[in-house]
Amino acid sequence: MAFESLASKLQETLKKLKGKGKLTEKDIKDAMREVKLALLEADVNYKVVKDFVKSVSEKCSGSEVLNSLTPGQQVIKIVNEELTSLMGSSESGIEYSSGGMTVIMLVGLQGAGKTTMCGKLALQLRKKNKKPLLTACDVYRPAAIKQLQVVGKQIDVPVFSMGDKVNPVDISKGALEYARNNGLNVVIIDTAGRLHIDEELMNELKDVKEAVKPSEILLVVDSMTGQDAVNVAESFNNQLDITGIILTKLDGDTRGGAALSIKAITGKPVKFAGIGEKMSDLEVFHPERMASRILGMGDVLSFIEKAQQNIDQEEAKKLGERMMSQEFNLEDFLSSMQQMRKMGPLNKLIEMIPGANSKDLQNIDMDQSEKELIKVEAIIHSMTFRERRNPALVSSSPSRKKRIATGSGTNIQQINKLLKDFEAMKKMMKQMKGMQKGYKKGMFDKLPF
């Protein structure tokens, strides 16, 4: 889980302050010492940590905080604002060319995931009604061109290639001409990488940059390499003047050092974050939302956006109406589960919920939770049409339960638990319906179920 160890330590430290009615300068000093250690353990750059702690300490030591009725909350607010500022204050999207053709160069070391990231970026831009073209300029790595062609076919985006015997500069120029002739408006260039930064690599990238005048030069770095990612970013920025950074494998980075250091060191924003292996697993990097997640304050906006992108709105509306009308049955229950699973793994959804403490999440077996959902699906699929529509038939019949258990590979206890959970959910919906009568009409229209 992203930032897991850092989030756990910061939340624990700030929780101690939150529980105090009054804070002293010693309380602030002790808390900042723990914050400093947490950031250093997360592999955040030492200078960045020093400046961060100094800024937070100065703002927390003022009379407005120490004499506040809720000093702990004020400290959390300041830490949240400083974390957000550290990562870039606000999201930075793609800068599109005013001339109509936007050229994006992806650069980075070999193994950073540039080729796959080209596809992920193209897919995201296509969803925004752009017409991207992938360009194979890595003529050195074996099968690099073939890999990009496979990626392009997977997401149905055209790939321009001139083989591995042509100079990358000529390939880039050819791609621009091809894009203009075929009504495409974004050219994404997959460049070569090396295992280390060398003069030959940089000269080639500079030549491509000079030839096509890209709107964006995005550096792809592996966030799990921590300080190495920051050092790589600094080197590429000095040589190429990059416009932004894409962090890969952020979902597996429990520390977060790269994400928290890279903007402060290079001055260039993190624009996107890779959060999984699927082609759709690319997110715009929102500093303020990431800071909220780290501090256990949730990320409701991202949750809503994910729901809007993945859940069938008409189906969700019908389910909501059935829930409130008490017509909700096991078929609807199954449908609602399947809709939620489209939004992604449970652990990624839970960390977006306000109050989801990282320490508590560590004790939840996410793999087991996913397995339980699969069992529930199997149980409902093993029921007849009448049983799904009328669960009471199963509740009152041991023979039906035995048949369903055999068909789903489960046991009667698990079936009883499902029926109990289902009845509890119906009861909760009944209570919500009662609450709804006391509020203005339309307030519950946007519930995500």
Condensed to tens digits (0 to 9), the pLDDT of residues 160-204 reads: 999 989 999 999 999 999 999 999 999 999 999 888 888 888 999
Least confident of 53-57, 261-265, 430-434: 430-434
Check whether residue 235 and residue 340 sit in a common domain: no
pLDDT band for position 318 (cuts 50, 70, 90): low
Pairing status of strand 216-222 against strand 102-107: parallel
- Residue 104: per-residue pLDDT: 97
**Final residue belonging to a domain, choices 273, 296, 319:** 296
- Residue 180: per-residue pLDDT: 93
Check whether residue 55 and residue 125 sit in a common domain: no
**Final residue belonging to a domain, choices 272, 296, 320:** 296
- Residue 117: per-residue pLDDT: 95
Check whether residue 419 and residue 306 sit in a common domain: yes
Q: What is the mean pLDDT of residues 292-304?
A: 65
Residue 97: inside a domain:
no
Encode pLDDT of 34-74 as tens digits. Answer: 999 999 988 889 999 999 999 999 888 877 777 776 788 88
**Final residue belonging to a domain, choices 242, 271, 296:** 296
- Residue 97: per-residue pLDDT: 86
Residue 448: inside a domain:
no
| Mean pLDDT rounded to a whole number for the chain | 82
- Residue 225: per-residue pLDDT: 84
- Residue 71: per-residue pLDDT: 80
Q: Is the dihedral of CA 272, 149, 252, 307 positive or negative?
A: positive
pLDDT band for position 147 (cuts 50, 70, 90): very high
Residue 446: inside a domain:
no
Q: What is the mean pLDDT of residues 318-342?
A: 71
What are the structure tokens assigned to 63, written together? 């009379």
Least confident of 200-204, 261-265, 290-294: 290-294
- Residue 365: per-residue pLDDT: 46
**Is 50 exceeded by the pLDDT of residue 442?**
no
Encode pLDDT of 221-254 as tens digits. Answer: 998 888 888 899 999 999 999 999 999 988 776 6
Residue 29: Cβ within 10 Å count = 12
Q: DSSP secondary structure string, 24-36?
A: -HHHHHHHHHHHH
- CATH number of the domain encompassing residue 117: 3.40.50.300
- Residue 270: per-residue pLDDT: 93
- Residue 335: per-residue pLDDT: 77
Alpha helices in 327-397 (DSSP H): 330-341, 346-350, 358-362, 366-381, 385-389, 392-395
- Residue 33: per-residue pLDDT: 93
pLDDT band for position 445 (cuts 50, 70, 90): very low
Distance in angstroms (rounded) separating the CA atoms of residues 15 and 5: 15
Identity of the highest mean pLDDT range in 78-92, 100-114, 298-312, 341-355? 100-114
- CATH number of the domain encompassing residue 356: 1.10.260.30
- Residue 196: per-residue pLDDT: 84
Beta partners for 248? Answer: 222
Check whether residue 134 and residue 214 sit in a common domain: yes
pLDDT band for position 446 (cuts 50, 70, 90): very low
Check whether residue 240 and residue 147 sit in a common domain: yes
Three-state SS at 103: strand
Q: What is the mean pLDDT of residues 108-123?
A: 93
Q: Tell whether pTM > 0.85.
A: no
Residue 353: inside a domain:
yes
What are the structure tokens assigned to 151, written together? 């990626």
Check whether residue 260 and residue 353 sit in a common domain: no
- CA terminus-to-terminus distance, the chain: 26
Check whether residue 289 and residue 326 sit in a common domain: no
Q: Give how far Cα 395 sits from Cα of 238, 382, 430, 438, Å.
A: 69, 15, 20, 34
**Is 90 exceeded by the pLDDT of residue 14?**
no
**Is 90 exceeded by the pLDDT of residue 135?**
yes
Residue 143: inside a domain:
yes
- The count of domains in the chain is 3
**Is 90 exceeded by the pLDDT of residue 138?**
yes
- Residue 69: per-residue pLDDT: 67
Whether 15 contacts 265, CB under 8 Å:
no
**Closest CA relative to residue 282, chosen from 150, 145, 106:** 106
- CATH number of the domain encompassing residue 12: 1.20.120.140
Structural domain of 345: 302-436
Check whether residue 120 and residue 247 sit in a common domain: yes
Residue 92: inside a domain:
no
Check whether residue 191 and residue 145 sit in a common domain: yes
Check whether residue 245 and residue 311 sit in a common domain: no
Check whether residue 106 and residue 183 sit in a common domain: yes
**More confidently predicted of 379 and 343:** 379
pLDDT band for position 410 (cuts 50, 70, 90): very high
Encode pLDDT of 347-393 as tens digits. Answer: 555 555 554 554 544 544 445 556 777 888 899 999 999 999 889 99
Residue 9: inside a domain:
yes
**Closest CA relative to residue 303, chosen from 248, 356, 360:** 356
Residue with tokens 């992604």: 344
Check whether residue 265 and residue 130 sit in a common domain: yes
Residue 441: inside a domain:
no
Whether 233 contacts 262, CB under 8 Å:
yes
CA 174 to chain centre: 35
**Is 70 exceeded by the pLDDT of residue 319?**
no
Q: What is the mean pLDDT of residues 424-432?
A: 70
